[in-house]
């Protein structure tokens, strides 16, 4: 079993340096895949109302027998933005998960045209005060949106989960996060597999360290102080993805990987993308 190190969030909670994405892990096979990831050392699980697998994640958590060692993340969908709507939505997530608390609760997308994300964030802080949520964060927020949350509530989110991979390294946003104590979390950290893992620079660096290309990419995330959440349904790839903490990339190698920058995988611009 791999031991995945943890960092402290701005609210004092422990947060693993790598976690499991669960998009697409559903039904019995999905539960089995999540349990196998926990067995191989994963402690951070990422789900969302819109993945329609909170039930499977909750079932895997119960089967693992180590609920208190796990950080279960879920996300508020756009259709539930607003103060009262968020409180109600959280109760639905808790019921589907079958858990007594959400360890990390994120606003999935800001949906700025609806302008309700500050109300939702306030509701999440109220849920935190009541103990139903441990850490409060956001996903797909831009710098001005984060600045507004901090300005209007006095609280910086603990986490901002954003698209990040070598094609989209998010240098400016990461600098803003560092300045405000916000932990970066990378979604689609392997760029959804795509052609990233056959890029020559990644293949060469992998050979130099005698590791797999995916491990190089995931180590790049962790050395840039972001928590990647690779999704894999396969026990061997899950183990490989988690096993990235016993080699170090040089500064030149990190720069060479970041030079693959070319932009987002799809048109997921938080200023315009609406996800309900």
Ligand X SMILES: NC(=O)c1ccc[n+]([C@@H]2O[C@H](COP(=O)([O-])OP(=O)(O)OC[C@H]3O[C@@H](n4cnc5c(N)ncnc54)[C@H](OP(=O)(O)O)[C@@H]3O)[C@@H](O)[C@H]2O)c1
**Most distant CA pair in the chain, distance:** 54
Of 214, 224, 244, 257, the residue at the interface with ligand X (CB under 6 A) is: 214
Q: Is 21 in the site for ligand X (CB under 6 A)?
A: yes
Residue nearest to ligand X (CB): 21
Q: Is 230 in the site for ligand X (CB under 6 A)?
A: yes
Size of the chain, expressed as the number of residues it contains = 276
Q: Is 50 in the site for ligand X (CB under 6 A)?
A: no
Give me the residue label for tokens 């990419």: 217
Of 231, 249, 253, 270, the residue at the interface with ligand X (CB under 6 A) is: 231
Q: Is 138 in the site for ligand X (CB under 6 A)?
A: no
Piece in contact with ligand X (CB under 6 A), picked from 95-103, 123-131, 190-198, 219-227: 190-198
Backbone angles phi and psi of 57, in degrees to 5: -65, -45
**Is 51 a known active-site residue?**
yes
- H helices present in the chain, as ranges: 27-39, 54-64, 83-97, 117-130, 143-153, 171-180, 200-209, 213-223, 235-242, 251-258
Helix (H, G, I), strand (E, B) or coil at 20: strand
- Cβ atoms 34, 206 nearer than 8 A: no
In whole angstroms, the minimum distance from the beta carbon of 96 to ligand X comes to 16
Q: Is 54 in the site for ligand X (CB under 6 A)?
A: no
The catalytic site residues sit at: 51
Question: Which residues of this chain interact with ligand X, rule CB under 6 A?
Answer: 21-23, 46, 108, 139-140, 161, 187-193, 197, 214, 229-234, 237, 240-241
């Amino acid at each position: 079993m791999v031991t995945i190190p943890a960092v402290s969030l701005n609210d004092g909670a422990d947060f693993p340096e790598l976690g499991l994405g669960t998009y697409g892990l559903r039904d019995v096979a999905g539960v089995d895949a999540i349990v196998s990831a926990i067995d191989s050392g994963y402690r951070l699980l990422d789900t969302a109302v819109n993945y329609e697998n909170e039930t499977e994640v909750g079932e895997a958590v119960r089967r693992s027998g180590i609920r208190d060692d796990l950080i279960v993340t879920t996300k508020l969908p756009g259709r539930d933005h607003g103060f009262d709507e968020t409180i109600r939505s959280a109760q639905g997530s808790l019921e589907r998960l079958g858990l007594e608390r959400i360890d990390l609760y994120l606003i999935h997308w800001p949906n700025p045209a609806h302008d309700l994300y500050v109300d939702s964030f306030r509701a999440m802080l109220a849920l935190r005060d009541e103990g139903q949520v441990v850490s409060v964060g956001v996903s797909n927020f831009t710098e001005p949106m984060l600045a507004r949350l901090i300005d209007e509530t006095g609280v910086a989110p603990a986490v901002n989960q954003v698209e990040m991979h070598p094609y989209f390294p998010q240098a400016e946003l990461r600098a803003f996060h560092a300045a405000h104590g916000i932990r970066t979390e990378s979604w689609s950290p392997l760029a959804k597999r795509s052609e990233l893992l056959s890029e020559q620079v990644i293949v060469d660096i992998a050979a130099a360290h005698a590791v797999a290309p995916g491990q190089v990419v995931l180590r790049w995330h962790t050395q840039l102080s972001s928590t990647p959440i690779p999704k894999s349904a396969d026990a061997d790839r899950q183990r490989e993805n988690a096993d990235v903490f016993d080699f170090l990339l040089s500064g030149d190698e990190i720069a060479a990987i970041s030079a693959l920058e070319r932009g987002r995988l799809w048109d997921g611009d938080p200023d315009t993308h609406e996800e309900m």
